[in-house]
């Protein structure tokens, strides 16, 4: 049974995280924290009427035997929260963005001193993290790869950050190669997509889509495709759950969910 | 029972067509023709030892009650062959390429005069022809469309001719639209693919692939995808078979298998 | 400009339909109706504060120059609503379910008498309707077909109603055929899926999925796949929009969106 | 530069392997062996006229400084071949099937004694081996999984051996779970596919297909799909190449390409 405190429980991601902890038979929600709230108990919140969990709104007040601190708060609060957790031997699992590199480095130093595990994850979507891991493994054997990312048509930038991260991870292990026919020509410019170290990246934008990525590998007579689909931010909770289960096994603070998979 | 004569039966496509006619219980192979051969009977050809079908090597010699003439010969012969067929009331089904626009127009005029049906098809792949038809129908309801064509990495040109034909057919019926976010930017140039009347076309090139095309449509909360895969030229025989079945119902010469579907 | 009245505008589908009419430059919302409401004007509803559209809560009160009546009400009200519309020369576009076969027949008779077009559609999802149409067309040329439907893992019945409808439509035109190897055996029972007139249907159930269907056709050396994805009921509005645009061109009442595509 | 001898070079797989070695700039073909041949040099074989490589047809004759022995011979010869290789400090890479468990155990013992690496691989298709590895990794985080395997319609058994192997590998790490709705019913029996430890396996059979497998994982709001396509047995050469590159790093004989990936 992992005892968990959730910071930022009044917000959308924080309340979803609190619910995930409540629903998981291996976890126990032993506290919630939100500087925006005056609740003394979680049951004062309409969404959690049947619970009985102490609620805090001041870091200094917090008294808890939690071993994991889930943080979905705000950029200006997360650093102090994480410091508080580490200083009290609680492992932070942080989905809040916005810390500076310096703050992250500070926290990593503190985690090592205190011998406390922790995680800062810009993306808790396990399918995306696994896709990148698998793509990197496959690229060792299949240097020919094309990335197709697909998003809703409101998205401004292309290719997506995840597609570029995928290409970077692949490039780390892939035998350098300029793909395709050396005499290749484009009748319509852009047809072959964006070029990244000899690989090609294609961005599809359509209404109805959410966030999807496909990595295709090809070799003589065969193909391997890895695809991930994100339909809803609720998917992040699968990653938070894995982090809560594993973070106490470590004695340092990682950046990136892949370090715990 | 459709009586068929196959012209060009010594070649790869022609012999495959002869075999298809033999294997089809609704067709009867009543003659074969090839200017390159001296055979008097098809059974002199090692691949067709158990058959008993008259073989011709001179147009003037041909005596036949065939109603359909399948032609997989050569650019310099096909025009005379087709004229011969039409003049004898036989419906030509032509997979041979290389006729001039003038020759095609001549044959179309002759077919009308003689009231004989016929077909010239640059591509007998039914899956590709249906994909184009369906894409055109869907585009009436879904103006947002992206085309992804995928071929082996030896292919020189991109996008493929079929992808451009698909885009053209869609453009004929689609409500004009510049797709995607008006403020869209490409971090890596080419990511959004080639532009064709506001649509986007992406070309993937990988070893192991043969010839594949995917047309994706998106609308609020839904998507429709049509995909065709060509693994082998044997697939053309499905189209030839359909043409043989239907061509006698017409009294003119069509260009494009879609006119018979 | 098509003038539209929306019945059932207080409900989720009805309000979405009202918003769709408001947002479409070719449509004008000239009235709303809901027996559950006391509003005199649509702007009394918090979601539509900036509108100025008369609201009715009694059929007899309704005075309108609408030519289309969108109905997302309740089973006990829809028949009277449709009768009212037809009697006033307004074309009903009905998404409400629950009418008896007799009631539908009555309305169809009335529509013919009054020479008014109309539509009752159990499913306004255009991607699903097009998938069925295309599958039926393709089955004429490819008798080998497998249907894979995919839904969230809460779904109780399998295969889905849409998959069975698709199989039925295919069976109407497909050359009867028992697919696969005649000596085929299942090492694990059920592997080959459900059998429907020699075709096979497979049902996938996974968390994260919504409602998806894929129809795969295969022939020698080629394949054709049609897939539709429904992510959200908002997708129904694309179908309602098409119906509003087209229904006035007809003089009878259809059942099934496919009749207007 | 890895020096390689190819056993069984007169056969289809063996000659393809010899060609692969010749084409690879990091490998050198230093000998070929085939008990069926009388050639003294590979250049006596029409397919390899421009080569100059000694050919052997008797194990006892073989004199070579090869460090890797590729074996695509026959069940009755492979055991003696592998013993010969190991006894001469040459690492066997064996695609020949048909050895008994006892013979394999003998060879593994011998390899350890001689401290020579080796590989027996029933399947050199890297995309299939990676698919199984990735599926096993993903199943740790996604207990909900469905396997869809697709083959040409001549295939007799279903599900495929690879699909069952995949399910077994997943079952080793997956949290036991009966998937789907507990009240689920099949309107058409078999719709939900075959059951394996609570997972579901679906087998698709269509003309045009070759050998394909898709493993779909689902979690709240997301999905992960891994797919492999085998179009041609030439694909095995990618796996043989990897084995030749790596086998000398080991001091034992493995069964299964996955041990070298």
Q: How far D143 CA lies from chain B's nearest CA (Å)?
A: 27
Distance, in Å, from the CA atom of A147 to the CA atom of B88, rounded to the nearest integer, reads 55
Q: Is A155 a catalytic residue?
A: yes
Task: For D194-246, give the DSSP string.
Answer: EEETTEEEEEEE-TT--EEEEEEEEETTEEEEEEEEE--GGGHHHHHHHHHHH
Angle made by CA atoms A8, A14, A17, in degrees to the nearest 5: 140
Query: Both tokens of residue C104?
Result: 């539908």
Counting as low any pLDDT under 70, the low residues of chain B are none
C12 is in an annotated binding site: yes
For residue A69, give every residue at least 6 positions away whose Cβ sits within 8 Å of its Cβ, in sequence order, or none.
A4, A5, A7, A81, A82, A85, A90, A91, A92, A93
CB contact under 8 A, C226 and B229: no
Binding-site residue numbers of D for NAD(+) are: 8-13, 34, 95-97, 121-124
Q: How far D125 CA lies from chain A's nearest CA (Å)?
A: 8
Distance, in Å, from the CA atom of A203 to the CA atom of A194, rounded to the nearest integer, reads 9
Distance, in Å, from the CA atom of D29 to the CA atom of A72, rounded to the nearest integer, reads 60
Measured between beta carbons, which residues in chain A are less than 8 angstroms from residue D234? 220-221
Distance, in Å, from the CA atom of D40 to the CA atom of D152, rounded to the nearest integer, reads 41
Q: Does a cis peptide bond (omega within 30 degrees of 0) precede residue B159?
A: yes
Q: Which of A191, A250, A160 is nearest to B158 (CA)?
A: A191
Measured between beta carbons, which residues in chain B are less than 8 angstroms from residue D231? 208, 210, 231
CB A192 within 8 A of CB A184: yes
B212 is in an annotated binding site: no
Label residue C233 by pLDDT band (50, 70, 90).
Answer: confident
Q: How far A134 CA lies from chain D's nearest CA (Å)?
A: 6
Distance, in Å, from the CA atom of C216 to the CA atom of D152, rounded to the nearest integer, reads 13
A36 is in an annotated binding site: yes
CB B20 within 8 A of CB B14: no
Q: Which of C203, C206, C221 sits opposite D223 (nearest CB)?
A: C206
C16 is in an annotated binding site: no
Q: Which of D92, A186, A221, C71 is nearest to B155 (CA)?
A: A186
CB contact under 8 A, A134 and D137: yes
Query: Both tokens of residue D140?
Result: 């740790």
C95 is in an annotated binding site: yes
For residue A236, give every residue at least 6 positions away whose Cβ sits within 8 Å of its Cβ, in sequence order, or none.
A13, A95, A123, A124, A125
CB contact under 8 A, A222 and B208: yes
Q: Residue D206's pLDDT is what?
A: 97
Distance, in Å, from the CA atom of C246 to the CA atom of C231, rounded to the nearest integer, reads 25
Q: Residue C97's pLDDT is what?
A: 86
Q: How far C128 CA lies from chain B's nearest CA (Å)?
A: 8
Residue range C132-156: average pLDDT?
96
Measured between beta carbons, which residues in chain B are less than 8 angstroms from residue D229? 208
Q: Which of B138, B10, B33, B148 is nearest to B88 (CA)?
A: B33
CB contact under 8 A, C204 and D208: no
Q: Residue C123's pLDDT is what?
A: 83
Mutate to test the interface with A, among C150, C206, C208, C234 (most CBs of A within 10 A): C208
Greatest extent of chain D over all pairs of C-alpha atoms, in Å: 71
B2-120+234-260 fold: Rossmann fold (3.40.50)
- pLDDT tens track for A10-63: 998 999 999 999 999 999 999 999 999 999 999 999 999 999 999 999 999 999
Give the B:C interface size as CB pairs under 8 Å.
125
Q: How far D253 CA lies from chain B's nearest CA (Å)?
A: 30
Q: List chains adjacent to chain A, taking adjacency as at least 3 C-beta pairs closer than 8 Å.
A: B, C, D
For residue A131, give every residue at least 6 positions away whose Cβ sits within 8 Å of its Cβ, in sequence order, or none.
A166, A213, A215, A226, A227, A228, D224
Write out the catalytic residue numbers of B.
151, 155
Q: Give the pairing type, strands D253-255 and D118-120.
A: parallel
Q: Within B186-248, where are the H helices?
A: 236-246
Distance, in Å, from the CA atom of B144 to the CA atom of B178, rounded to the nearest integer, reads 9
Angle made by CA atoms C116, C121, C125, in degrees to the nearest 5: 130
CB contact under 8 A, D153 and C205: no
Residues of CATH 3.40.50.720 domain(s) within chain A?
2-120+234-260
List per-residue pLDDT tens for chain D, 261 residues long: 999 999 999 998 999 999 999 999 999 999 999 999 999 999 999 999 999 999 999 999 999 999 999 999 999 999 999 999 999 999 999 999 889 999 999 999 999 999 999 999 988 999 999 999 999 999 999 999 999 999 999 999 999 989 999 999 999 999 999 999 999 999 999 999 999 999 999 999 999 999 999 999 999 999 999 999 999 888 999 999 999 999 999 999 999 999 998
CB B201 within 8 A of CB B167: yes
Write out the catalytic residue numbers of D.
151, 155
A236 is in an annotated binding site: no
CB contact under 8 A, B222 and C130: no
Residues of CATH 3.30.360.10 domain(s) within chain C?
126-230
Q: Residue C195's pLDDT is what?
A: 96
CB B155 within 8 A of CB B161: no
Q: Which of C128, C237, B222, C148 is nearest to A210 (CA)?
A: B222
Residue D63 CA to its chain's centroid (Å): 28
Q: Residue A97's pLDDT is what?
A: 86
Measured between beta carbons, which residues in chain C are less than 8 angstroms from residue B125? 222
Which member of C3, C155, C175, C202 is catalytic?
C155
Label residue C122 by pLDDT band (50, 70, 90).
Answer: confident
CB contact under 8 A, D125 and A217: no
First to last CA, chain D: 20
Measured between beta carbons, which residues in chain C are less than 8 angstroms from residue D215? none
Distance, in Å, from the CA atom of D40 to the CA atom of B216, rounded to the nearest integer, reads 58
Angle made by CA atoms C199, C200, C206, in degrees to the nearest 5: 155
Q: How far C169 CA lies from chain B's nearest CA (Å)?
A: 17
Q: Exposed (0-12), middle (13-18) or buried (19+): which is B150, by Cβ within 10 Å?
A: buried
Measured between beta carbons, which residues in chain A are less than 8 angstroms from residue C231? 208, 210, 231
3-state helix, strand, coil in chain B (%, to 5): 35, 25, 35
A14 is in an annotated binding site: no
Distance, in Å, from the CA atom of A31 to the CA atom of A18, rounded to the nearest integer, reads 9
Neighbours of A48 (CB within 10 A): 21
Q: Side-chain half-sphere of B119: how many Cα atoms within 13 Å? A: 28
**Torsion sign, CA atoms A55, A59, A64, A65:** positive
Q: What is the CATH number of domain D126-230?
A: 3.30.360.10
Q: Residue B233's pLDDT is what?
A: 82
Measured between beta carbons, which residues in chain D are less than 8 angstroms from residue C153? 144, 179-181, 218
H/E segment holding residue D32: strand D27-33
Q: Is the pLDDT of residue A123 over 90?
A: no
Measured between beta carbons, which residues in chain C are less than 8 angstroms from residue B235? 219-222
For A225, nearest residue in chain D (alpha carbons): D227
Q: List chains adjacent to chain D, taking adjacency as at least 3 C-beta pairs closer than 8 Å.
A: A, B, C
Residues from A contacting D (CB-CB < 8 Å) are: 125-127, 130-131, 133-134, 137-138, 140-142, 217, 219-235, 237-238, 242, 261
Q: Is A244 helix (H, G, I), strand (E, B) or coil?
A: helix
Residue range C156-176: average pLDDT?
94
Query: Both tokens of residue A27?
Result: 């976890």
CB contact under 8 A, A159 and B183: no
Neighbours of B1 (CB within 10 A): 10
Of how many residues is chain C composed?
261
Q: List chains adjacent to chain B, taking adjacency as at least 3 C-beta pairs closer than 8 Å.
A: A, C, D
């Amino acid at each position: 049974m992992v005892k968990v405190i959730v910071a930022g429980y009044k917000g959308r991601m924080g309340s979803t995280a609190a619910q995930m902890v409540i629903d998981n038979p291996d976890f126990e929600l032993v506290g919630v924290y939100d500087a925006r709230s005056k609740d003394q108990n979680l049951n004062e919140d309409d969404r959690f009427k049947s619970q009985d969990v102490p609620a805090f709104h001041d870091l200094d007040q917090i008294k808890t035997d939690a071993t994991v601190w889930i943080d979905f708060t705000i950029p200006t609060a997360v650093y102090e929260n994480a410091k508080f957790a580490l200083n009290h031997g609680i492992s932070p699992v942080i989905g809040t963005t916005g810390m500076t590199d310096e703050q992250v480095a500070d926290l990593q130093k503190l985690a090592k001193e205190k011998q406390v595990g922790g995680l800062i994850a810009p993306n808790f979507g396990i399918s995306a993290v696994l896709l990148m891991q698998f793509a990197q493994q496959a690229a060792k054997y299949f240097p020919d790869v094309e990335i197709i990312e697909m998003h809703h048509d409101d998205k401004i930038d292309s290719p997506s950050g995840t597609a570029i991260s995928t290409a970077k991870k692949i490039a780390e292990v892939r035998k350098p190669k300029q793909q395709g026919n050396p005499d290749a020509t484009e009748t319509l410019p852009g047809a072959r997509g964006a070029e990244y170290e000899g690989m090609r990246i294609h961005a599809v934008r359509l209404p109805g889509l959410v966030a999807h990525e496909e990595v295709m590998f090809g070799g003589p007579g065969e193909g391997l495709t890895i695809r991930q689909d994100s339909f809803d931010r609720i998917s992040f909770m699968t990653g938070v759950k894995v982090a809560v289960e594993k973070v106490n096994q470590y004695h340092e603070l990682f950046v990136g969910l892949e370090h715990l998979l």
